[in-house]
Amino acid sequence: MLNPILIIGGSKRYRPLFAALKDLHIQTNQVLSGEEALATLNMRSYDAVIMEWDLSYSSALETVERIKKIRPNIPVLAVGSGPDSGLDRDGKSGGLVEYLPMTGVENIDLARLIGNLKQILPELRARVLPGRDLLWSKTRNEKMKKLLAMLDIIKDELGSVLIQGENGTGKEVIAWLLHYSGRGHTAPFVAINCAAIPETLLESELFGHEKGSFTGATERRVGKFELANKGTAFLDEIGDMPVNTQAKILRVLETGEIERVGGHNKIPVELRIVAATNQNIHEKIEQGQFRQDLFFRINTFTLVLPPLRERREDLFSLAQHFLDLIGARRGGGPRKCLSHSAQQMLLKYNWPGNVRELRNVMERAAVLTESNLIGPEALPEEVLAESNQLSLPPHDSQPFSASVRNGSGIVPLKDLEKRAIIEALSLLGFNATQTAKNLGISKATLYRKIKEYNISRRLVVCS
Ligand SMILES: Nc1ncnc2c1ncn2[C@@H]1O[C@H](COP(=O)(O)OP(=O)(O)OP(=O)(O)O)[C@@H](O)[C@H]1O
Ligand SMILES: [Mg+2]
């Protein structure tokens, strides 16, 4: 790409988003107002404009129109916090390419913005590879690496995808990534939370209804499946969908047609179904709460997200990612990092709330710590309590037991060193790079010591 992208706006809310563009080596130039943007556009060439749509109604619209007057061919995208409204339509008639309502979840928003940028700037396609544009690429965890490789393979397929994982592991993020990294990313992505919609309303929500089809149906309503036509329907919490509705969904998937509640016409729909659940679907099938035939229909591809406690290798990079995001949102300043002892606490904690919990813990810690080094005191009670309780393997739990003391009752340093290495390897799942880094030695030294002390995986008890 030859020219940078011009960004208009300066609110804190979007700082991490625009900072992420820079991290992807997409050249940007940011100005604070429409006036400044016009002056800048007069001076040099840009390939696209991204503007914040949270400016006042008239000034956002006016800015698009004035930009179009001086640069009729430049694509203008807008990001905003509100749901789609008349603004979007009015903006488009003034020359806006797309209005992207932001969710506030950075990786989802980034996936969406990048997806749209790739559409208008094809040169970006080769530069920003799918799935590489997000933190996911930095994973060191084997399961996550496999999952990403799989995502890359299936992103352009129409077959349905079932995403399984505990609460907060990133199922929704993966669903968005699937949609926005694939070929169909300009088509709609429509999310339906099956657990949040009362059973009586779920069908009308999914399939729409005709005017007068039931009390309260004063208008015809287009359902989510119809809205998602040619794109992705994301059925979140599918494990909570009532069995009756399951049968109807199955019929839609098999016939490729929907019928509005109270309607008689069959409407063809072409959809990719992406479903997510934190429940054990096999158990639900056994209990008669989930239809097996629907299960077979929706799990053409299955992606299983590991809980955070099984991907401890990623803990520090995720934690730092969140600290950086929070830092960017709060206006920059010196980078905040975790102290060694705080890191140890995070490693020992079990993370029942997974990535979401880590994010909240980091947010809290960043706010509570004025300096740039975050210590254990900024971590919540539950993290401290659990990590203090964690007992190490029996031979490690009493660092100065009689067996390691020599004749004068002194502990030889090399025994302490051996113990430190075994403990670190245990906590870090035998990840040599992380272990060396945390012990403050080189990887080569670590390998030498593993050999010297005859440390095998057998001695290392992974949490
Ligand atoms: N790899 C990641 N990189 C950065 N942030 C992540 C990652 N995975 C998850 N998150 C963050 O964790 C939070 C939870 O993610 P998400 O909502 O996708 O989880 P979920 O599995 O759908 O949770 P639930 O089961 O509660 O609906 C979000 O704030 C998201 O941004
Ligand atoms: Mg979710």
CA of 262 to the centre of ligand 1 (A): 38
- What is the rounded distance in angstroms from the CA atom of residue 365 to the CA atom of residue 50? 32
Contact of 53 with 60, CB cutoff 8 Å: yes
Q: Which atom of ligand 1 is nearest to the CA of 276?
A: 22
Ligand 1 and 168: CB distance under 6 A = yes
* Per-residue confidence (pLDDT) for residue 45, from 0 to 100: 92
pLDDT at 335 over 50: yes
Confidence of residue 137 (pLDDT cuts 50, 70, 90): low
Domains and their CATH numbers in the chain: 5-128 (3.40.50.2300), 171-306 (3.40.50.300), 313-389 (1.10.8.60), 401-459 (1.10.10.60)
Q: Which one of the ligands is nearest to 169 CA? A: 1
- Cβ of 274: how many Cβ atoms within 10 Å? 27
* Per-residue confidence (pLDDT) for residue 400, from 0 to 100: 46
Q: How many Cα atoms occupy the beta-carbon half-sphere of 353 within 13 Å? A: 8
Give the tens place of pLDDT for each residue, 12-34: 888 888 887 876 778 899 999 99
* Per-residue confidence (pLDDT) for residue 203, from 0 to 100: 86
List alpha helices for 349-439, DSSP H.
354-368, 381-389, 394-397, 413-427, 432-439
- What is the rounded distance in angstroms from the CA atom of residue 110 to the CA atom of residue 180? 10
Ligand 1 and 278: CB distance under 6 A = yes
* Per-residue confidence (pLDDT) for residue 87, from 0 to 100: 66
* Per-residue confidence (pLDDT) for residue 59, from 0 to 100: 81
Contact of 169 with 304, CB cutoff 8 Å: no
Q: 411: exposed, middle or buried (C-beta count within 10 Å: 0-12, 13-18, 19+)?
A: middle
Kind of pairing between the strands at 208-209 and 221-222: antiparallel
Ligand 1 and 173: CB distance under 6 A = yes
Q: pTM of this prediction?
A: 0.69
| Residue 243 CA to its chain's centroid (Å) | 30
SS3 268: strand
Contact of 75 with 102, CB cutoff 8 Å: no
Beta bridge partners of 222: 208
Tell me the average pLDDT across 253-275.
91
Contact of 425 with 435, CB cutoff 8 Å: yes
Strand order in the sheet with 189-193: 189-193, 232-236, 272-277, 161-164, 301-304
* Per-residue confidence (pLDDT) for residue 127, from 0 to 100: 56
Q: Which one of the ligands is nearest to 303 CA? A: 1
Q: Provide the token pair at 254.
A: 């098999």
Tell me the average pLDDT across 36-48.
93
Give the tens place of pLDDT for each residue, 66-120: 999 999 999 999 998 876 666 667 777 778 888 888 887 777 788 888 888 887 8
Ligand 1 and 136: CB distance under 6 A = yes
Give the tens place of pLDDT for each residue, 306-323: 999 999 999 998 998 888
Q: What is the 3-state secondary structure (H, E, C) of 329-371?
A: HCCCCCCCEECHHHHHHHHHCCCCCHHHHHHHHHHHHHHHCCC
Q: Provide the token pair at 67.
A: 């930009």
**Could you tell which of 112, 173, 360 is best to mutate to test the pocket of ligand 1, judged by most ligand atoms within 8 Å of the CB?**
173
* Per-residue confidence (pLDDT) for residue 405, from 0 to 100: 54
Report which protein residue has its CA nearest ligand 1's atom 13. 356
pLDDT at 337 over 50: yes
Q: Which one of the ligands is nearest to 175 CA? A: 1
In the chain, pLDDT over 90 holds for what percent of residues?
A: 41
| Amino acid (1-letter code) at residue 401 | S
Phi and psi at residue 91, to the nearest 5°:
-60, -40
Residues present in the chain in total: 463
* Per-residue confidence (pLDDT) for residue 342, from 0 to 100: 93
Give the tens place of pLDDT for each residue, 201-217: 888 889 999 888 777 77
Q: Which element (helix H / strand E) includes 207?
A: helix 199-207
